[in-house]
Amino acid sequence: MKFIDGHNDTVIKMKENGVNCFLRGDRSAHLDLPRAMNAGFSGGFFAIYTPDRSDFPQLEDYQTQEGYQLPLSEPCDHHYAYQYTDYMLNLLKQAERNSQGALKFVSNKEELLKYVNEDTMAGILHIEGAESIDPDFKALYDYFDKGVRSLGPVWSRPNIFGEGVPYHFPSSPDTGPGLTKKGKQLVKECNKLGIMLDLSHINERGFWDLASITNAPLVATHSNVHTLCPISRNLTDQQIDAIGESNGVIGVTYSLNMLRKDGIIDANASMTEITKHIHYIAERIGIEHVALGSDFDGTTIPKTVEDVRGVPGLMDHLQREGLTQRELKKVSMDNWLRVLEDTWKA
């Protein structure tokens, strides 16, 4: 069964190992072109995230018997983020040029539908954290012209648009202030252009600020259920309800730290630890509002999935748990197609 995936950080592996490794096969990555095509990966959001210049806090340094409280990362310099984002965009475009037509980055719904129904991988350019966007939004329009059609206003750090949610367990996502005035303007500019907004790393106040402004469906590309795993990165029932009411979608992530109720990060976690989040969302707001959002190459995932080749097994697991072929098709592809069609402008 073909599928669209809501989030990967595979361009980091392209930077480390070269574009040709992605095209020919890179077993150090969760995702490369040959394995993805064989697994049915017909489309996905390729994220560009600007890393911290200093080391990201390590979980073990903050672990206690009660959980962990990783601090927010420091703000990222705009000029550094702009240069880094431009470099990574060029890497992805190089991969497209060298793929002999096997990878195409799409910028409208017609292209998306065309390629997902062919033996071509439809890539969607996504920027994770808007540090590279200036207060006048010139860079936003530049990125739009280059094909970017999805944006997360924040990663897990503050910027001029708002504040990301830190990695705290157990914790609610209500961890800081909401969108700034510029952040609210950013939402309106993205609505105007038809750029999808991703809520996955935003804190709760920022979530509700964005929800009150946007005219597009609410989307979290790689988030799970807070009731089932009370990490600050996961979505409360009220947030899940709001996404359903907006006709939006949640891409369930396979990230180990976002799966278990007890917060234990277990590499041997079963596929049920992932699918229970899919079932919870489907039962609460409908099967039309849940999809896949792996976070390949951006996190640690269960050995039972291992890499992109494990996704067909995950779909088989869902079928054994009772999902029909029609429901599986919604989760694997149709829900992403609907949301993007409702968000992207003609």
- Check whether 240 has a pLDDT greater than 80: yes
Find the mean pLDDT for residues 57-71.
89
How many CB atoms within 10 Å of residue 110?
A: 12
Find the mean pLDDT for residues 93-102.
98
CA-closest candidate to residue 116, choices 344, 345, 329, 343 = 329
Domain extent for 237: 3-343
- Check whether 55 has a pLDDT greater than 80: no
Measured CA to CA, the distance from residue 315 to residue 77 in angstroms comes to 41
pLDDT of amino acid 31? 98
Find the mean pLDDT for residues 204-222.
98
- Check whether 346 has a pLDDT greater than 70: no
Assign residue 226 the CATH number of its domain.
Answer: 3.20.20.140
pLDDT of amino acid 186? 98
pLDDT of amino acid 57? 82
- Check whether 251 has a pLDDT greater than 90: yes
Say if residue 100 is exposed, middle or buried (CB neighbours under 10 Å; 0-12, 13-18, 19+): exposed
pLDDT of amino acid 341? 97
pTM confidence score: 0.98
Find the mean pLDDT for residues 96-110.
97
| % residues pLDDT > 70 (the chain) | 100
How many CB atoms within 10 Å of residue 84?
A: 20
Mean pLDDT taken over the chain: 97
pLDDT of amino acid 30? 98
Find the mean pLDDT for residues 95-119.
96
Any residues with CB less than 8 A from the CB of 211 and at least 6 apart, and which? 218, 242, 246
What band does 59 get if pLDDT is binned at 50, 70 and 90?
confident
What band does 188 get if pLDDT is binned at 50, 70 and 90?
very high
pLDDT of amino acid 65? 86
Amino acid at 218: L
Find the mean pLDDT for residues 88-104.
98
Find the mean pLDDT for residues 91-115.
97
pLDDT of amino acid 54? 74
Q: Degrees (nearest 5) of the Cα angle 130, 131, 136? A: 80
R_g over Cα of the chain: 18
Domains contained in the chain, number: 1
